[in-house]
Chains A and B, each alone.
Chain A
Amino acid sequence: MNIPLSCGYLLIRGGASFFLIARSPDTFALPLQTFDGEVFQGVHRGDLIVVSAPEGGDPEQARMLCELVRTYRQPLVVLPKGHPGSARLRMVLSVASCIMPRTDIVRGTHPEQDVICSSGELASLGMAAFGRYVRLSGFDPGRMAFFLYPPGSLSAR
Chain B
Amino acid sequence: MCSTGGPIDIEFDEGLKGKKYRCNDCGAVFEAVGRHPVCPSCESENVTAV
Contact = CB atoms under 8 A, between A and B. Distances in A.
Interface string B23-41: 0000000111111111110
B36 to A, nearest CB: 5
Nearest to A110: B12
Interface residues of B, number: 27
Contact of B2 (A27, A82, A83, A105): A105
Contacts, number: 102
A58 interface: no
Given A39-B31, A39-B33, A42-B38, A106 B43 contact: no
A105 B5 CA distance: 9
Chain B interface, >50% SS class:
loop
Contacts of B39: 29
Interface in A66-125: 78, 81-84, 86-89, 102-107, 109-113, 115, 117-120
B3 A40 contact: no
Contacts of A115: 12
A41 B2 contact: no
